[in-house]
Amino acid sequence: MIARIRSTAQHWTRAVPVLAVVLLILVWGRSLPGALVAVVTLFLAGSVLAAVHHAEVIAHRVGEPFGSLVLAVAVTIIEVALIVTLMADGGDKSAALARDTVFAAVMITCNGIVGLCLLVGALRRRVAIFNPEGTGAALATVSTLAGLSLVLPSFTTSGTGAQFSTPQLIFAALASLVLYGLFVTTQTVRHRDYFLAPVTATGDVLDTDHAEPPSRRTALISLGHLGLALVAVVGLAKAVSPAIESGVAAAGLPSSVVGVVIALLVLLPETIAAVRAARRGRIQTSLNLGLGSAMASIGLTIPAVAAASVWLAGPLELGLGPTHMVLLALTVAAGTLTVIPGRATPLQGGVHLALFAGYIVLALSP
């Protein structure tokens, strides 16, 4: 019976991404009626679940921290493609789309995903235990990248408004790439043990997965289907983006809400994967996914939009406003106090979720 359930899950998680990509080809560049929007949304949700399944297969094969890195980088690369495409289509009205989407990704990952995972893990095991060295390094990198790329543009005087001048934008792009590259090297080569599950005083390793890892062939098949699923997620999200923009405008909400919705859709696979890992007691994996996604979102998006600004006609606004700066400062402060002990109770999870809820409320009603 269990084998039959696994076989059924394997078939639908392989079929849905292929069908979703076919649907994407059919609807690309077309105006969608309401019924077709519903069909696209259904396949979008199916592609998200399929992406989570294949990401977990790959993670189980390659182990941590490579597994969480694969999903974070794959999602972010396609997210960048979506942002650049929307900016190219939107002109001046999409000048702040990259800033809104990247900041939304930071709030979703550092507060939403991290808070939810800590809450779930602590409720199930009383205390959520993780490795403070690796988690602290990730938080420090995210904080630095966010400060350099999203805060400084609001205070520079060379550019117009909340924009970098060309030399400043080049510096921000290079700094983002270098810091992200240094972090990946630290995470996967020099100090990989900092990003693995901590060892208890008795020498036991927490968060150990005892299931037999999949074969190399199965992992490669899942890698291909993960790519298809992520292309489908982002492509179908773009296909329904006009409906999202129309809904946001009809509701009288700020245009920045579009960036929030895009980030929520794109980060949904990572959110589900992180929460499922937390339910299994794999807190370090959850934090690797959450903070790694925030870092990849900034470290890859800023260089990409900086390069795209050469041929994009409209301005590129990166600087945050005062309200968002306060939220970012609170996130960094709360994250630092959460990471230092290497263990968290439901209170810490609640603190981050409160910050995330505050961000959502202020996005809807600035």
Residue pLDDT, tens place only, 277-309: 898 888 988 898 889 888 888 888 888 888 887
- Check pLDDT > 90 for residue 192: no
Distance CA 1, CA 8 (A): 11
For the segment 350-366, what is each residue's pLDDT rounded down to a tens digit? 999 999 999 999 988 88
CB 214 within 8 A of CB 60: yes
- Check pLDDT > 60 for residue 179: yes
Sequence-distant (≥ 6) Cβ neighbours of residue 210 within 8 angstroms: none
The token pair that represents 86 in the structure block: 């929307």
Give the lowest-confidence range in 92-101, 118-127, 312-321.
Answer: 92-101
For the segment 201-238, what is each residue's pLDDT rounded down to a tens digit? 444 445 545 456 778 888 888 888 888 887 887 788 77
The residue with greater pLDDT, 34 or 99, is 99
Q: What are phi and psi of 201, to 5 degrees?
A: -65, -25
At residue 109 the predicted structure's pLDDT band, cuts being 50, 70 and 90, is very high
Residue 48: per-residue pLDDT: 75
Sign of CA dihedral 250, 253, 254, 255: negative
Mean pLDDT computed over 258-284: 83
Distance CA 69, CA 279 (A): 20
Nearest to 360 by CA among 116, 117, 120, 112: 112
- Check pLDDT > 60 for residue 177: yes
Longest dimension (CA), the chain: 67
Residue 114: per-residue pLDDT: 94
Helices (H) and strands (E) in the chain, counts: 14, 2
What average pLDDT is seen over the chain?
82
For the segment 1-15, what is each residue's pLDDT rounded down to a tens digit? 444 445 555 678 888
Distance CA 174, CA 361 (A): 34
- Check pLDDT > 70 for residue 30: yes
Sequence-distant (≥ 6) Cβ neighbours of residue 75 within 8 angstroms: 230, 266, 267, 269, 270, 293, 296
**CB-count burial class (<10 Å; 0-12, 13-18, 19+) for 106:** buried
Residue 201: per-residue pLDDT: 43
The token pair that represents 275 in the structure block: 């929460």
- Check pLDDT > 70 for residue 329: yes
